[in-house]
Amino acid sequence: MVVAAIKNKFNNGEVSIYQSGDVFNIPNKSIVGTKSFYITNLGRVFAHDTGGIFGEEQSKSYTGNIDLSFNDYGITLSNEVGGEFSFNVLLTDQEFINVYEKLSHNNLVCKNNMNANSICKYRVGKAINGEHITFTDYIKIENNKLKFSKDNYINEIPFYRIKSVKDKDKFIEISGSFSVRNSTIYELRVYTFDEKVKKEILNKMQNYNQNIFNIVGDVSEIFTTSVTANIHDKFIADKSIAICFDSNNIYFIDEFEKKCLVTLKLSKTNAYYSNIENKIVFESENNLYQINIYNGSSLKEYLIRNIIKTNKKLICRFGRLSGVLNGESFKGEEVGILSDGSKIIFISRSNLKVLNTIDMEKLEVQIDNNNVFIIFKNQIALLKVFVQSHIHEFFTKQSDSSYIFGYTSKDEPFFIKQDEDKILLSQSPSTIHFKYYNEEITDISITKYGDKESIFSELQISTIDNKKNLIINVPNTIIKDLIYKTYYYSKNKSLEQVPAEQLYLSYSRQVNDYILFHYFGQIFAMYHGFKEIQKNEKNIDLKNEKIINYLYYSIQALKKHFDTVSIYLPSTLANEDANILRDQSAQIPYKNLQRNLMSLTSQINRSLNEIENSIASVSFVLISREDYTKVIEQRTKDGYSLAVGMGVLGVMATTLTGGLAAPFFLSGILTGINTRFSDSYAKEQEKIRENNEKNRISFSVDKMTDSLEHLTQTLLPYYINETNNSVYQTFQQLYQIYKPQLESKEVQKELFNKITQYYTYKQLPVDNSVTIKKRDLIELTHQTVNLSNQYLDSFQKEVTGNVPKSLETTATIK
């Protein structure tokens, strides 16, 4: 509201367009009076001071030029300081525009200011109620671009994007399509107070006729981005372009060359979107165009609103493809993947070409961790996916497959087929990559278990020619059969040439090895674990506690295991021989074996009891059975399905002994004990150990060590020898029952089958926590027998080295 004293001085049609307070100086300006300041539409300036209680009312007017200057806080309007009426008003950019547009008489004089020479205003997007941005800047013309000096808003307006330029007296109106901070603006107003700059802008822009609209027509959806594609038989990567859309087409415009690179018909174009990678791929007539989009960009908003369909997905960097797919071979090629739910398109990362398009319904898919096995038209490919969570975005279900397959360390997949002659590894019916004749294979061993979620483990196939050795990952479910069949087929052809007595001898040796493993292999496994603790644990107190707990729980398990083996194993073996011979008298020789094994168990238990007695004196360091059970279950449960799958518990425990003599998990005990006695546990127990007789513990551990060393080094060679003799005697007696039937083809076939089963059993690991084969422990028991012979030799030498030579010998010496 204008005070009356000022309003009375207004001319006809003159109105106030800006009002403020104490922003002026006049002579005798009051201290407490009310001050009013006005700028009118005629460019006149008025000031009024009520004078307050003691002063006089004053009114002043100014009709000269108003100085305009730019600063970091806004725009200043002022006049010369020192006259009867001076003022200095600070306005925001928008406040100034509101004043400026209402001035009918322009008496503003822009001072020479390098900070800014113009005010710019634009609206974000097309919406009428969209956000308006106003800012000051120093603008200039350079290389057919309107350049802005500040980084706050717009960097440049290329003439190429300008549709029209109009002089609106107070401002220049520039329309077109311009990219600003991931957004698009369609109109820019430039308020410039430098007439030279204004004329230059109008002259150059209005005379520039090479704009993008001459190429694409009157479109308004234009965005700046980059494209990767094969265009005109040339691969380009991340090329900067303008992408334009109208109701029928998509245009890729090279703004540097000022030409259209590609025009895509929307009706023939599919768009696949990756929110993870901020990319979209347009697929048109089997050609691909990869576009970069950014969060918050107007391009992304436009695509989501108008182009992108939720069922069309994309991952540009999905994985590495190996094998054969739809007739084409791949070796670790990095690929992307597109899908609409009904088909899969594999694309090359190196040149963005379509590698294969496959109907999802015709695929067989098997997923193992980040490996995706794809079976199509009797061909197999392996997709090694970079990010496992991406898999189920594209492969929502697995197929039931009748194929057996594996893969190498280089992620090459293969079908695995085995017949009576050979093992074939192929990727398609026409490509055989590896051929192994069963007779050439000398060994098949597990070298590494897969992850706990994986159904695969690593095998090494060794051959007579070491150059053909192969490491391959195969399903756990086929390992047993692969070993069994390889041995069976390699030996079966020559079975008729093997004498019946030799076959029976081989059978007896296999049974002997089986018994030795269950007795002495387990003891050696315990001894190995004991030595591992001694070697690896540096903290003496922690070492002692680990040894005490490890030996205690291992011995508990061993004693129960020996009882089971000695009582039930001979009976089980007897039943098997009775079934082979159809003669119950085959059970009689095993009665003596059973008595001998039970006697042997008692003798071994005496040695184990000696160790247990030493443990009893320091029982306070034992962890609770509940805690022990938890750590062992945790250690073994992850691998249990693996063990069952590959037959660690199934080959002999079920086939041969009905599960009565399955080995316990000694390695699981060792790992569990190591887990329980972690560094944090050591710190927690440090104070307790200081108060619990360290010397007493060390003394007891020394006794345990001596007892265990005595058992393994002195007693075991004798026990093993006695067991060998006992088994030998059993099979000597059993031979009399077998002899009449050894020439029977059916009996020979049964014996050979049992030999193969025992061989397979020995080839498998001790348990699911280690890759040491049972055969290795059995061989260790055989080597230990040599110690028994060494003891005998040493006694013999002691006697012969200390007694007189015989008379006969001395008489011959001259």
At 492-506, the pLDDT tens digits run 988 889 999 999 999
Q: Could you give the CA distance from residue 435 to residue 495 in angstroms, rounded to a whole number?
A: 24
pLDDT value of position 765: 85
pLDDT higher for 58 or 628? 58
- Which residues are bridge partners to 236 per DSSP? 229
Instruction: Give the confidence band of 692 by pLDDT, cuts at 50, 70, 90.
Output: low
Domain assignment of residue 85, yes or no: yes
Q: Could you give the CA distance from residue 197 to residue 202 in angstroms, rounded to a whole number?
A: 9
Q: Could you give the CA distance from residue 653 to residue 660 in angstroms, rounded to a whole number?
A: 7
- The reply to whether 54 and 201 lie within a common domain is no
pLDDT higher for 393 or 289? 289
602 Cβ contact partners less than 8 Å away, ≥ 6 residues apart: none
Q: Using the 8-state DSSP alphabet, how is residue 468 labeled?
A: G
- Asked if 51 and 57 count as a contact pair (C-beta separation under 8 A), the reply is yes
Q: In 20-163, which ranges are continuous DSSP H helix?
A: 93-102
pLDDT for 398 beyond 90: no
pLDDT value of position 8: 94
Q: Which of 418-422, 680-684, 734-738 has the lowest mean pLDDT?
A: 680-684
Domain of residue 466, CATH code = 2.30.29.30
CB atoms within 10 A of CB 370: 17
pLDDT for 86 beyond 90: yes
pLDDT value of position 654: 33
Mean pLDDT for all residues in the chain = 85
Q: Could you give the CA distance from residue 617 to residue 175 in angstroms, rounded to a whole number?
A: 95
Strand ranges in 349-455 using DSSP code E only, listed in sequence order: 354-359, 364-368, 371-376, 379-385, 405-408, 413-418, 422-428, 431-437, 441-449
Q: Could you give the CA distance from residue 626 to residue 776 in angstroms, rounded to a whole number?
A: 33
Tokens of 136: 């000051």
- The reply to whether 444 and 559 lie within a common domain is no
Instruction: Give the confidence band of 526 by pLDDT, cuts at 50, 70, 90.
Output: confident
- The reply to whether 420 and 457 lie within a common domain is yes
pLDDT for 404 beyond 60: yes
Q: Could you give the CA distance from residue 564 to residue 587 in angstroms, rounded to a whole number?
A: 18
- Asked if 471 and 409 count as a contact pair (C-beta separation under 8 A), the reply is yes
pLDDT for 651 beyond 50: no
- The reply to whether 103 and 129 lie within a common domain is no
Average pLDDT over residues 710-739: 90
- Name the nearest CA neighbour of 405 among 394, 397, 413, 393: 413
pLDDT value of position 632: 60
Q: How far is CA 326 from CA 321, 363, 460, in A?
A: 13, 11, 30
Q: Which of 134-143, 166-175, 259-268, 672-681 has the lowest mean pLDDT?
A: 672-681
First to last CA, the chain: 153
At 155-207, the pLDDT tens digits run 888 999 999 999 998 899 999 998 877 778 889 999 988 888 889 999 999 88
CB atoms within 10 A of CB 490: 18
Give me the amino acid identity at 557.
A
pLDDT for 149 beyond 90: no
Most confident of 400-414, 650-664, 797-811: 400-414
Instruction: Give the confidence band of 150 by pLDDT, cuts at 50, 70, 90.
Output: confident
Q: Could you give the CA distance from residue 422 to residue 437 in angstroms, rounded to a whole number?
A: 4
**Domain-terminating residue out of 211, 241, 275:** 211
Domain assignment of residue 504, yes or no: no
10 Cβ contact partners less than 8 Å away, ≥ 6 residues apart: 2, 40
Instruction: Give the confidence band of 465 by pLDDT, cuts at 50, 70, 90.
Output: confident
Domain of residue 60, CATH code = 2.30.29
Return the half-sphere exposure (C-beta side, CA atoms, 13 A cut-off) of residue 345: 24
At 69-78, the pLDDT tens digits run 888 888 999 9
**Domain-terminating residue out of 459, 492, 525:** 492
- The reply to whether 642 and 757 lie within a common domain is yes
Domain assignment of residue 129, yes or no: yes
- The reply to whether 44 and 69 lie within a common domain is yes
Query: Which helix H or strand E contains 87, and what residues bound it?
Result: strand 86-91
313-325 and 328-339: which strand pairing? Answer: antiparallel
- The reply to whether 522 and 568 lie within a common domain is yes
Q: Tokens 């004990």 appear where?
A: 673
108-110 β-sheet, strand order? 24-25, 86-91, 74-78, 66-71, 108-110
Q: Which of 194-203, 478-487, 617-626 has the lowest mean pLDDT?
A: 617-626
- Asked if 360 and 393 count as a contact pair (C-beta separation under 8 A), the reply is no
At 557-597, the pLDDT tens digits run 999 999 999 999 999 999 999 999 888 887 889 999 999 99
Domain assignment of residue 113, yes or no: no
- Asked if 202 and 167 count as a contact pair (C-beta separation under 8 A), the reply is yes
Domain assignment of residue 468, yes or no: yes
Query: Which helix H or strand E contains 286, and what residues bound it?
Result: none
Q: Could you give the CA distance from residue 527 to residue 226 in angstroms, rounded to a whole number?
A: 66
Q: Could you give the CA distance from residue 80 to residue 66 in angstroms, rounded to a whole number?
A: 9
pLDDT value of position 669: 57
- The reply to whether 658 and 557 lie within a common domain is yes
- The reply to whether 206 and 82 lie within a common domain is no
pLDDT for 671 beyond 70: no
Structural domain range at position 483: 413-492
Instruction: Give the confidence band of 387 by pLDDT, cuts at 50, 70, 90.
Output: very high
Instruction: Give the confidence band of 693 by pLDDT, cuts at 50, 70, 90.
Output: low
pLDDT value of position 783: 82
45-49 and 24-25: which strand pairing? Answer: unpaired
Average pLDDT over residues 552-556: 91
74-78 and 86-91: which strand pairing? Answer: antiparallel
Q: Which of 488-502, 773-787, 800-814 has the lowest mean pLDDT?
A: 800-814
Average pLDDT over residues 653-664: 38
Tokens of 155: 């960097």
105 Cβ contact partners less than 8 Å away, ≥ 6 residues apart: 41, 42, 43
pLDDT value of position 597: 93
**Domain-terminating residue out of 188, 211, 234:** 211
- Name the nearest CA neighbour of 406 among 396, 417, 420: 417
Q: What is the largest CA-CA distance in the chain?
A: 163
Instruction: Give the confidence band of 688 by pLDDT, cuts at 50, 70, 90.
Output: low
pLDDT value of position 642: 42
Q: Is residue 2 exposed (0-12), middle (13-18) or buried (19+ Cβ within 10 Å)? A: middle
Average pLDDT over residues 139-145: 90
CB atoms within 10 A of CB 404: 16
pLDDT for 667 beyond 60: no
- The reply to whether 104 and 23 lie within a common domain is yes
- Asked if 281 and 288 count as a contact pair (C-beta separation under 8 A), the reply is yes
CB atoms within 10 A of CB 733: 15
pLDDT higher for 693 or 700? 700
SS3 at position 705 = helix
Tokens of 452: 């706990």
Q: Which of 81-90, 385-394, 620-629 has the lowest mean pLDDT?
A: 620-629
Q: Using the 8-state DSSP alphabet, how is residue 152 labeled?
A: S
- The reply to whether 515 and 472 lie within a common domain is no
- Which residues are bridge partners to 141 per DSSP? 146
Domain assignment of residue 803, yes or no: no
Domain count, the chain: 4
- The reply to whether 456 and 550 lie within a common domain is no
SS3 at position 297 = coil
172-180 β-sheet, strand order? 132-137, 118-124, 183-192, 172-180, 162-167
Give the dihedral of Cα atoms 751, 753, 759, 763; nearest 10 deg: -170
Domain assignment of residue 349, yes or no: no
Domain assignment of residue 500, yes or no: no
At 118-132, the pLDDT tens digits run 888 888 777 666 678
